[in-house]
Structure 1
Amino acid sequence: QEALEAQTLETAYAADDSTETQQDQQSQDAEAAESVAPGMRPDNADGFPRNRRDALGAMERELPSGFGRPNVMQVVSFTGLSGASASVPELFQYPSMPAGCEIYSLAAVLQAMDHDADPDSIVANQLPFDVEGDDCASAFWGDPYWSGEGMPPAIMAAGNAFLEEAGASERFANLTGTDFDELASKASSGTPVLVWTTLDFEDPYFDEPLEANSFYDLEHCVVLLGVEGHRACIMDPTQGYVTVNYDWFKYLYEQCGSMALAIA
């Protein structure tokens, strides 16, 4: 009887050790998942808000009348795109630059134009900052490595400074106020367009459309690559390649000040 009880206790201790080992391993796996190298998909990146992991499922809400669901879909690649639009790479801003969506979108377009554009180098060498803090349009406000926003004039200045230093003849133009259908046509013709929208393509619930160069919650910048059917093809520096309901993306563009930037 004593031998049987001893064997039972030994088995129980072994089970406890096994459970602790599994829990330790799970904890180690979770810690490892918190650190994702720049350029990798940021599903579990350190500092990546958990709600963004569920972005695709977070759209179950009532939307303004006349629209379908945003219907965000992540895709591996696009077919049918042309020119530089077909060459825009997936660049992920997390975990390297949490407030650098504009910089990563700009770098992606420059890379599609066969330039060796590095987001960190652009911040260090071409991005204008206003140290006095009273210029919120032609200079980046805040810190792209922490918290901040950049409007089209500032990002255009950075892009054109890069192109000038590279000896390129092309220049970016501020297309703010352009009809969205015209922007979509430009992207579909091979010229990718930086578009200011909202993070996760959320409804900003503005009472009326913003004026250009206004700061707003959920401010975000993505690259419009073209149109497939009734869906906008986008490179989002937080999600990679996605498609979004065309009318919904157009609505967001107009609500957020109709701000855009592209090669002239």
Structure 2
Amino acid sequence: MKKIWIFLLAVMLLLAGCAKNVESTPDSATADTATADEATQPPTQPPTQPPTEPPTIDELAQAKYDQILNTELRNNFAIIDNVEPLGQLNGMQAGCEALALTAALSHFGYDLDIDDIVDDYMVYDNNFVIGYCGNPRRFYDGAGIYPPGMVTTVWNFIDENEAELYPFDTTGLSMNELYRFVDAGCPVLIWTTYDRNSPRIEQYKEYEDIKYPWYDTEHCVCLYGYDLEDNEVKIADSWDYGKDEWEDAERFENVYDEIGRFSLVLMDTSKLK
């Protein structure tokens, strides 16, 4: 009998120990503990993105150009300040393009003499589209230069002076579209005639799929204002010792259209960076 009681007591103690072990195990132990494979995996990271390159000045200038071109005029009147024309008949008889550029540059604070552009920055070539053809100082020996050549001339000036400017060949734009650049403070070089009469076209040169006319009254001025209510444009004209005046916008536009809509815009890039 004593052996039986010892045996029963041992069984009871064993059962009590098992019950204690079960009660001390949290119900969540097997549910929340990660497996060995999961525990060894590193945390998931988002894919590494390559560093973004800042936009170039070309991209910034082009974006600004597109923005201006797609913005309607804010009002019926605009004028760009500090544009100073120079006269061409006193030593620069056939240099109207250089003097129109000089007038445009004066707005940006560059005080240039009558000779600076033709002596230091102008490109010359027998093809009047890409370089000045002839002698800009002599009326009968000088011909002229069109927007592609003037863009190169402006870049020569920019590089030499570290100027924060950007030239755009805006050939083909309407006068209404060019007014948007004036509205944004960008002077415009426009190819016209020195008497605003219809041009008598003598020949054409083709360059990059565009036909450029040569006519005996070829002339270039700087447009820097417009008044839609009075139908006038403000120009710096080097003809007749440097006119600085308002003139009839419709007549000016008709000549511009008849020649073929040749123009160049000069943009300030100092605030684009």
TM range, smaller chain? 0.5 to 0.7
Spell out the pairing of 1:139-150 with structure 2 (5 A cutoff): 139-146=131-138, 147-150=142-145
More strand by share: 2
CA RMSD of aligned residues (A): 2.2
Letter in 1 for 2:219: H
User: Which residue matches 2:253?
Assistant: 250
Q: 1:143 to 1:123 in 2, by over 3 A?
A: same
Spell out the pairing of 1:53-64 with structure 2 (5 A cutoff): none
Distance in 1 between residues matched to 2:236 and 2:123, nearest whole Å: 24
User: Which residue matches 1:35?
Assistant: none
Residues 1:101 and 2:101 aligned together: no
1:199 CA displacement:
0.9
Distance in 2 between residues matched to 1:90 and 1:115, nearest whole Å: 12
Q: Which secondary structure does the structure 2 equivalent of 1:171 belong to?
A: strand
Instruction: Answer yes or no: is the 8 Å Cα contact 1:126–1:162 preserved in 2.
Output: yes
Spell out the pairing of 1:1-264 with structure 2 (5 A cutoff): 81-82=78-79, 85-130=80-125, 133=126, 135-146=127-138, 147-204=142-199, 212-228=211-227, 229=229, 230-239=231-240, 240-264=243-267
1:245 CA displacement:
1.5
Distance in 2 between residues matched to 1:250 and 1:244, nearest whole Å: 11
Instruction: Answer yes or no: is the 8 Å Cα contact 2:200–2:216 preserved in 1.
Output: no
Distance in 1 between residues matched to 2:211 and 2:98, nearest whole Å: 19
Distance in 2 between residues matched to 1:205 and 1:162, nearest whole Å: 32
- What residue ranges of structure 2 are gaps of 5+ in the alignment? 1-76, 268-273
Q: How many residues were matched structurally?
A: 179
1:80-128 per-position Cα deviation (integer Å, ceiling 9, x unaligned): 644xx22111211112100001000001111111123334122112111
Give the fraction of aligned pairs with identical amino acids, expressed as a percent.
29
Q: 1:212 to 1:260 in 2, by over 3 A?
A: farther
Deviates more, 1:212-221 or 1:252-261: 212-221
- What residue ranges of structure 1 are gaps of 5+ in the alignment? 1-79
Distance in 2 between residues matched to 1:227 and 1:90, nearest whole Å: 17
Distance in 1 between residues matched to 2:108 and 2:183, nearest whole Å: 16
Q: TM-score, with normalisation over the residues of structure 2?
A: 0.61
1:216 CA displacement:
0.9
Distance in 1 between residues matched to 2:211 and 2:246, nearest whole Å: 25
Letter in 2 for 1:102: E
Q: Which secondary structure does the structure 1 equivalent of 2:149 belong to?
A: helix
Q: Which has the larger radius of gyration?
A: 2
Instruction: Answer yes or no: is the 8 Å Cα contact 2:189–2:222 preserved in 1.
Output: yes
Distance in 2 between residues matched to 1:177 and 1:222, nearest whole Å: 17
1:151-173 per-position Cα deviation (integer Å, ceiling 9, x unaligned): 11112211221122111221111
Instruction: Answer yes or no: is the 8 Å Cα contact 2:85–2:102 preserved in 1.
Output: no
Distance in 2 between residues matched to 1:212 and 1:189, nearest whole Å: 29
1:225 CA displacement:
1.1
Instruction: Answer yes or no: is the 8 Å Cα contact 1:185–1:226 preserved in 2.
Output: no
User: Which residue matches 1:19?
Assistant: none
Q: TM-score, with normalisation over the residues of structure 1?
A: 0.63
Instruction: Answer yes or no: is the 8 Å Cα contact 1:212–1:259 preserved in 2.
Output: no
Runs of 4+ aligned residues of structure 1 deviating over 6 Å after TM superposition are: none
